Amino acid sequence: MALPEQMWQCQTVNCGYTYDPDRGDRKGKVPKGIMFEGLPDDWKCPVCGGGKKCFRSLAGPGSAQ
């Protein structure tokens, strides 16, 4: 499992869904503990279907904080 400082969340700009590594994505069959960068390139938001390019970091590198 990743270190806590590596477990930041990413949120889609389309619908506001937040991918949380602590929860994973049950609908997309992604187990908890998988960091956003570790998601398959073809993974989609379970709410709006947006691709990984539609997401922005809420903390960590590349975030607005």
CATH of the domain at 53: 2.20.28.10
Residue 38 sits in which domain range? 1-59
Is residue 1 domain-resident? yes
More confident residue, 49 or 10: 49
- How much is the pLDDT for 7? 53
Quick one: pLDDT at residue 65?
46
Domain presence at residue 64: no
19 within a domain of the structure (yes/no) = yes
Q: What total number of domains does the chain contain?
A: 1
pLDDT in tens, 18-65: 999 999 999 999 999 999 999 999 999 999 999 999 998 886 555 544
Residue 7: CB partners within 8 Å, gap ≥ 6? 21, 22, 35
pLDDT of 64: 47
Instruction: Report the pLDDT value the prediction gives residue 49, as an integer from 0 to 100.
Output: 94
- Counting runs of H as helices and runs of E as strands, what totals does the chain give? 0, 3
Q: Is position 65 within any domain?
A: no
29 falls within a domain: yes
